[in-house]
Chains A and B, each alone.
Chain A
Amino acid sequence: GAVVSQHPSWVICKSGTSVKIECRSLDFQATTMFWYRQFPKQSLMLMATSNEGSKATYEQGVEKDKFLINHASLTLSTLTVTSAHPEDSSFYICSARGWLLAGVSTDTQYFGPGTRLTVL
């Protein structure tokens, strides 16, 4: 149980284009999803937190107009990197927490496999 998937696993795009990354909870209801970014040999950096049906809460320094987050259902959240530039190249990871079974919640965050974005 508690499987989170991400799509795509890697993407290469040209500078100025937009890229959408999907994060899905496969076997549980994700009431909260988190988006992280990780540069090589650095720790995870939380970008934003999204609750299903609500606007995302962005961390300080993260541009909400550049990194659009939508969490419209209990199993899907998307991150869109708009007008991507080479400095946006990174490893983007989502995680989710919520209800494993009816009436059983978990405060554990389960991570997706990540999406490696390269902007040329």
Chain B
Amino acid sequence: QKEVEQNSGPLSVPEGAIASLNCTYSDRGSQSFFWYRQYSGKSPELIMSIYSNGDKEDGRFTAQLNKASQYVSLLIRDSQPSDSATYLCAVAIDRGSTLGRLYFGRGTQLTVWP
């Protein structure tokens, strides 16, 4: 069973704060990790991808990967009300019959209040 777990929400932070979203995965063969943002009634949009241990920064977003501990996180600095959405963690194993398939967590709903 390939499980992806996200910290239960909803998460509520004030504008300007740091929002921290966490995700753990069960399959040690996981190779690619993604964070998607999904606004209500819309489809997911890619925020970040990360493949190797460490931090990856893109603007206000930082993804962190620790394969030994099997977790990946997303930090949103200077949170804005427009960041309010559901954040989906996704993991790809890219082996054999699972080639290309993403395993999604249930998502963490983030609310940034002004």
Contact = CB atoms under 8 A, between A and B. Distances in A.
B104 interface: yes
B105 A109 contact: no
Contacts of A44: 44, 88, 104
A54 to B, nearest CB: 12
B5 to A, nearest CB: 12
A114 B42 contact: yes
B104 A43 contact: yes
Nearest to B102: A109
Given A32-B100, A107-B100, A112 B49 contact: no
A93 B43 contact: yes
A78 interface: no
A46 B101 contact: yes
B93 to A, nearest CB: 11
A10 to B, nearest CB: 11
B88 A107 contact: no
A87 B32 CA distance: 34
A49 B46 contact: no
Contacts of A112: 43
B57 interface: no
Given A43-B106, A43-B107, A44-B88, A110 B46 contact: yes
A97 B104 CA distance: 16
Interface residues of B, number: 23
A49 B43 contact: no
Interface in A23-82: 32, 34, 43-44, 46, 49, 57
Interface in A82-120: 91, 93, 97, 107-114
Nearest to A49: B101
B45 interface: yes
Nearest to B100: A32
A111 B100 contact: no
Contacts of A108: 32, 34, 46, 49
B94 interface: yes
Contact of B92 (A46, A93, A107, A114): A107
A114 B41 CA distance: 9
